[in-house]
Amino acid sequence: MNKLFIAISAAVLLCGVIVSAGCVSDTAGNNTGSSLTGNWTAADNPLVTLVFNDDGTYSGEAQVNLYNGTFSVNGSSLDMGDGVNRTKRAGPSDMMEAEDSYLGCLTRVSSYAVSGDTLTLSDKDGEVLLTFARMESAADKNTNTEQSTEHLLYGIWNLNGSERVTIIFNQDWTYGGQAPVNSYGGSFTFGAADKETNRIPLKLSDSVSTLMAGAPKDMEAEDAYYAALRSAVSCSVTSSDNGTSQRLELFDKDGVLLLSFTRTAETVPSAPATTAKRALPYGTWLLTEDSAVSLSFNPDGTYSGKAQVNSFSGTYLVYGPASKPYGESLEMSPAVRTKMAAADPVVNAAENSFFEALESANEYNLSADAAGVLNSLELLDKYGTVLLTFVKGE
């Protein structure tokens, strides 16, 4: 995935940052693991994420790669485990250096403090290494009735110069559309709009697409379109003088315009709360047949958990129209996992079967109790066969 990188020295941006005393809670010793649990974004780069899960695992997205690990809390002390696991993608040298610095800081963390919606991670000497802001959940965003700048992103857009190519941003953190030949989809996140430029930091996941072939010139145009989407790190939304249309522009990290879309006023969503009707599997789920095995779906498009032996993480997307009240099509990337092995081969075999089932998942179904509270999750393959069943964790 492409990441927004703010052009400041990685060492200054992510490690050894000078933070005012007000960022660290005076009551750090009273913090509990529950205040740490949740989704966080780096204060200086809203597209770098860190998720602490109830099952003792953490995961997130750095400048280039996904990463995960395990953690434990004792009062305000925080142990981030024996090391950080990450995918093996390569990126521009400045982004890779920033990522190495960021992940290096995580390995040095010894304590944490939560003050309001701010999280600070410090080393054994009390020096602040990293500062995060709590990520607003998709549910919170969907219940916000104010017309924010970010809300203007939602809806369907047509690529300028092409009647066929579209992109759609949904309020459940998914995007999709029609490319020159194939249809495509993925997940996205965004940050707060810059007050000076009014540009919105934007991160699009690698897209999943159909595999149709077209004329060579159309396939070349499609490859160029996907490349532009991968390079986008910010966007802006503006309205015409007479208010009859809107323009969406995507920019790369150097501020160069990549793609321009328009739509008419009639296609603008009227209110954020009216379009999010899909029930999403957010939260931690426990495998029915073995409650020690957990799976967490996070609002930032990542999943993580603990299998029979290893911890794991990856990305996912929910795509297609919200046609079912408690289920929809699901795409999960192969899991990144630790490399431990159990002494009992039966346990290792059970874990391998679990990961094979995850990779085969193509759909999910949620069930709710009489009060409408979601309490069970099924993952199904493309033929509708149930692969795994879970109950909602505490």
The CATH architecture assigned to 283-392 reads: Beta Barrel (2.40)
Per CATH, which fold does 10-135 belong to? Lipocalin (2.40.128)
Closest CA to 133 of 48, 52, 40: 40
Per CATH, which fold does 146-270 belong to? Lipocalin (2.40.128)
From CA 15, how far away is CA 103, in angstroms rounded? 10
pLDDT value for 303: 86
Tokens of 358: 């995850």
* pTM (whole model) above 0.85: no
In order of 151, 204, 256, 329, the CA distances from 173 in angstroms are: 12, 10, 25, 14
In order of 89, 208, 358, the CA distances from 317 in angstroms are: 19, 9, 13
Domain spans in the chain, listed from the N-terminal domain onward: 10-135, 146-270, 283-392
pLDDT value for 326: 46
From CA 7, how far away is CA 166, in angstroms rounded? 31
pLDDT tens, residue order, the chain (394 aa): 333 333 323 333 334 332 332 233 333 333 335 588 888 888 877 668 888 888 788 888 887 777 888 889 999 999 988 778 887 776 667 778 888 999 999 999 999 999 988 999 999 999 999 999 887 544 444 433 333 444 567 778 899 988 789 998 876 567 888 899 888 887 777 766 777 777 888 888 777 777 888 899 999 999 999 999 999 988 988 887 777 788 999 999 899 999 999 987 555 554 433 333 456 788 899 999 999 999 998 876 778 999 999 999 887 766 544 444 445 677 787 888 888 999 999 999 999 999 999 988 888 888 888 877 888 999 988 788 899 999 998 7
Fold match between domain 10-135 and domain 146-270: yes
Tokens of 308: 């029979």
